Amino acid sequence: MDWANQIPINRQTRFGIASGSKLFTALGIMRLIEENKCQLDDPAFQYIPQKFSHYHKTITIRHLLSHTSGIPDYYDENLVDDFVDFYVKRPSYIPGFITGTWLMA
pLDDT digits (tens, 9 = 90+) for 67-86: 888 887 666 666 666 666 66
66 is catalytic: no
Q: For the chain, list residues with pLDDT below 70.
A: 73-105
How far is CA 9 from each of CA 4, 14, 17, 53, 78, rounded to the nearest angstrom? Answer: 11, 9, 15, 35, 29
Quote the pLDDT of residue 56: 86
Query: Cα separations (Å) of 48 from 51, 57, 63, 72, 88?
Result: 8, 11, 15, 18, 24
Give the rounded percent of residues in the chain with a pLDDT score beyond 70: 67
The catalytic position among 19, 66, 69, 92 is 19
